[in-house]
Amino acid sequence: MKVLVINAWSSSLKYQLFDMQQNSIVAKWNIEKIWEKWSSIVNHKDAFSFALHTMIQNWSIKTEAWKFTVDAIGHRVVHGGEYFQTSVRIDTDVITKIEACSLLAPLHNPVNVECIRACIQLLPNIPQVAVFDTSFHQTMEPVHYLYPIPYTYYEKYKIRRYGFHGTSHQYVYEQLIEKLKSWEIEKLKDRKIEDLKVITCHIGNGASIAAITNWKVVETSMGMTPLEWLMMGTRSGNIDPALIFHLHKHEKLSDDTIQHMLEYESWLLGISWVSGDMRDVVAWIQQWNPRCSLALDMYINALIKYVWAYASILWWVDVIILTAGVMEHRTIVRTMFLEKLSWMWVVIDTQANHNETSLEKIVSTPDSKVTVLVIPTNEELMIAKETFKLINN
- The DSSP-derived string for 332-376 is HHHHHHHHTTGGGT--B-HHHHH--S-SSEE-B-TT-SSEEEE--
Q: What is the SS3 assignment for 382?
A: helix
Beta bridge partners of 201: 209, 322
What is the distance between the alpha carbons of residues 312 and 18, in angstroms, rounded to a whole number? 40
- Whether 133 is catalytic is yes
Active-site option among 71, 133, 240, 277: 133
Angle at 250 between CA 271 and CA 294, to 5 degrees: 10
- The DSSP-derived string for 142-202 is HHHH--SS-HHHHHHH--S---S-HHHHHHHHHHHHHHHHHHT-GGGTTS-GGG-EEEEEE
Burial of 30 (0-12, 13-18, 19+ CB in 10 A): exposed
- Active-site residue list: 133
